[in-house]
Amino acid sequence: MIVSIIGVGLIGGSIALDLKKAGLAKQTFGVDRSEVNLQKAVELNIIDKGVSLDEACQISDLIILATPVSVASDILIEILDFIKTGTIILDVGSVKGAICKAIANHPKRKQFVACHPIAGTEFSGPEAAFTGLFQGKINIICNQEESDKEAVQKVKHLFEQMGSTNIFMDSSTHDKHITYVSHLSHITSFALSLTVQALEKDEKNIFNMAGSGFESTVRLAKSSADMWVPIFQANKEHMIAAIDAYINEMKRLKSFIENNENEKMQASIEQANNIRKIL
Amino acid sequence: MIVSIIGVGLIGGSIALDLKKAGLAKQTFGVDRSEVNLQKAVELNIIDKGVSLDEACQISDLIILATPVSVASDILIEILDFIKTGTIILDVGSVKGAICKAIANHPKRKQFVACHPIAGTEFSGPEAAFTGLFQGKINIICNQEESDKEAVQKVKHLFEQMGSTNIFMDSSTHDKHITYVSHLSHITSFALSLTVQALEKDEKNIFNMAGSGFESTVRLAKSSADMWVPIFQANKEHMIAAIDAYINEMKRLKSFIENNENEKMQASIEQANNIRKIL
């Protein structure tokens, strides 16, 4: 199978490495707006060489669309316009409603399988890619009934080969839930980093006094702006609702401190502790 | 050296285990309002046996005060009233201003060394205690000039033996900085857990879709209410200021999403990324 990766970063690169290792990709090509990234990806044996999007469409059996979500829909339309019958495209974006809507009526819609592998790190770019990123992780396939059955089977198999379990969901359910268990975590972490930096001019104090708790809570604040600005924008409505709910919760907890309502705070923390049962 | 631990939980228990391992504690006794905890601590070889606070004061060379901060000041006064000359007491609380103030004029003030080892996990109780918790960590000693020089030296040495590095700070500086690098992380994590639970009634969806990012951000929400309600209360003023600053930051980021101000969001995330340089 000839595989092309559009956007040779952490996710696209890691898929390429896994497919090579599993013997599923005979050749891997990369498309990226950054020549530097393409060169690095070749050096790191992620791709055999960089090609144009047109070339990728002509030669590939499988195309992995792994760009920021802001440009994914437009590139997907371009790809669908050009690819030959039988080529499968999957994407890996964190927001699924917009992209599914953008190509809903495209004559080659069925060749596309909308995916969201729940995997990643706070690092980005081809240097961040590694074999095994998807091992033990979940891959969410959205709106499977809009895709060719055989294409879905192939994509399922592919993620299984990388060690992932596939689950199925419609794109709007996906976007709502993922807001709370992923996007909200990122914005709270960015805000924490900014707040602490603004108030703690003396970086040495932060470094000395920060324990593993702060490190854990602020880890996602290291995440790439190029990836997250488009996600927040593409998932705007859900983000605003989630942030509002979260700010209200913060205000409620603050009022317990302000008014010495220790019993209410105790009950709230015990309720928060229930996350133990879930995770 | 005979050591008594007042509050045989994660921190007190881990100190006992380390002092035993280092051969510094010949005998360790425990004082706890929970008989169950005392019994567990004996079973886990954390302490030799449970004793009363009076007994602990009479027999100990070193007393480790490791209760929730809400009761620490009162217990400390009781201990200082009863101990013999030469006994050293240290505490491990996350808030230092209140306790230092409470005993500032006590005739035996010099026998007390105010400590805050920056170490812990989201678990609590004697079962959570383990050897090596303080390895590679920072211990903050506050208001050292109010303590006996020799007592400070002994406490420094003790934390060094457990693998920690001691730093020195006045209690009000400590309380201000620790708010931003510890207490704020905890309240944001509690709020995240509560928000997600309130909006995601279907726990299966949370479990399936949550990645390592959410787990990292919400980890501290598993922390003990018995420990954290008193900390928030004891550090009330700083907490309120920090929460206000944080809510303002969340509102600012939300407005960027709402108004499609992607460039401002990009700049803010890149600023947030600077935490990489610090941690």
Average pLDDT over residues B19-47: 97
A148 touches chain B (CB under 8 A): no
Q: In chain A, what percentage of residues exceed pLDDT 90?
A: 92
Q: Is B140 helix (H, G, I), strand (E, B) or coil?
A: strand
Q: Are B250 and A187 a contacting pair at CB < 8 A?
A: yes
Position B186 scores a pLDDT of 97
Whether A206 has a pLDDT exceeding 80, the answer reads: no
Written as six digits, the tokens of B55 are 């007994």
Position B80 scores a pLDDT of 98
Q: Which residues of B touch A250 (CB under 8 A)?
A: 187-188, 191, 243, 246-247, 250
Position B206 scores a pLDDT of 75
Average pLDDT over residues A201-218: 83
Q: Are A181 and B206 a contacting pair at CB < 8 A?
A: yes
What gap in Å lies between CA A39 and CA A126, rounded to an integer?
10
B120: nearest CB among A211, A220, A236: A211
Average pLDDT over residues A220-247: 96
| Mean of pLDDT over chain A | 96
Furthest-apart CA pair in chain B: how many Å? 68
Say which amino acid occupies B179.
T
The minimum CA-CA distance between A150 and chain B, rounded to whole Å, is 25
**What is the set of domains in chain B, with CATH numbers?**
2-169 (3.40.50.720), 174-278 (1.10.3660.10)
Contact residues, A window 204-263, toward B, CB-based 8 Å cutoff: 205-226, 228-230, 232-233, 236, 239-240, 242-247, 249-251, 253-254, 257-258, 260, 262
- Residue A201's pLDDT band (boundaries 50, 70, 90)? confident
Position B208 scores a pLDDT of 79
Q: Are B232 and A257 a contacting pair at CB < 8 A?
A: yes
Say which amino acid occupies A275.
I
Q: Do A3 and A56 meet the contact criterion of CB atoms below 8 Å apart? A: no
Average pLDDT over residues B122-146: 96
Inter-CA distances, B15 with B25, B33, B61, B155, B185, Å: 10, 19, 15, 12, 24
Average pLDDT over residues B87-104: 97
A144-156 pLDDT per residue, tens:
999 999 999 999 9
Average pLDDT over residues B126-152: 97
The minimum CA-CA distance between B116 and chain A, rounded to whole Å, is 10
- Residue B270's pLDDT band (boundaries 50, 70, 90)? very high
Structure ipTM: 0.91
What gap in Å lies between CA B196 and CA B199, rounded to an integer?
5
Position A61 scores a pLDDT of 98
Q: In chain B, what percentage of residues exceed pLDDT 70?
A: 100
Q: Which residues of B touch A10 (CB under 8 A)?
A: none
B120 touches chain A (CB under 8 A): yes
How many CB atoms are closer than 10 A to CB B265? 24
A158-186 pLDDT per residue, tens:
999 999 999 999 999 999 999 999 999 99
Average pLDDT over residues A24-46: 97
Position A202 scores a pLDDT of 73
